[in-house]
Amino acid sequence: MDKKENKSIISIIILVVVVLGAIWYFKVGYLLRKPEMPEANIEIQTQMVDGGTINLRNVDYTEGQIKVGYEVKGFSLKEYNISCKLYNGGNLISTSGSTGGGLIELDEKHYYLIGDENINQINLPESVNLTVEIAVIPNDFRQKPITASFNVSLDKEVQ
């Protein structure tokens, strides 16, 4: 083999290594990164409850939806269910009572949950006094649910 063929072979090997490294990063390495909690958009409200902590971190109020983001530490989702209800001035405005918006597992017994409620059928004012009630419900029916309530005043965001 002459020098030109050697350079071509070395170039191909380097190209293959770079391409395989990029594929590994996007297929495997990217998945190994720890998920991150979104930045808070309100002043964080915290309640310590029965060996755990619940933090209300995010609230968005738009024309058709109210979305809340909250952090739960100290409770395993294998042992507890978590639900979220929304109230305006004491009147229930959520119908699902669930956290249907999403879940980010940050660590063992450490989660960020998103609760959202479509409010297209509800006529709410431009400003609401929202009460967010988060319930940590033990799978063991003999134990009582743990509840944390947070209050926040919101103005409707224009999209």
Q: What is the DSSP string of 7-32?
A: HHHHHHHHHHHHHHHHHHIIIIIHHH
In angstroms, the CA 100 to CA 113 distance is 9
Q: What is the mean pLDDT of residues 129-156?
A: 88
Q: Are residues 28 and 50 in the same domain?
A: no
Task: State the pLDDT confidence band at 119, using cuts at 50, 70 and 90.
Answer: confident
Predicted local distance difference test score (pLDDT) of residue 77 = 85
Q: Is residue 38 part of a domain?
A: no
Do residues 26 and 52 share a domain?
no
Task: Report yes or no on 2 lying in a domain.
Answer: yes
Residue type, 56: L
Q: Do residues 59 and 112 lie in contact, with contact meaning Cβ atoms separated by under 8 Å?
A: no
Report how many domains make up the chain: 2
Do 99 and 150 share a domain, yes or no? yes
Closest-CA residue to 54 (of 111, 138, 98): 111
* Domain containing residue 59: 45-155
Asked, for residue 39, whether it belongs to a domain, the answer is no
Query: Looking at the domain assignment, is residue 40 inside a domain?
Result: no
- The Cα–Cα gap between 26 and 117 comes to 34
Q: What is the pLDDT of residue 57?
A: 95
Q: What is the sign of the dihedral through the CA atoms of 98, 100, 104 and 108?
A: positive
Domain assignment present for residue 11? The answer is yes
Q: What pLDDT, in 10s, does the model give residues 42-77?
A: 999 999 988 899 999 999 988 888 889 999 999 988
pLDDT value, residue 151: 93
Quote the pTM value: 0.73
Residues 61 and 134 in one domain: yes
> Is 60 in the same domain as 132?
yes
User: ∠ at Cα 15 (11, 17), nearest 5°?
Assistant: 120
Residue 74 and residue 95 in one domain: yes
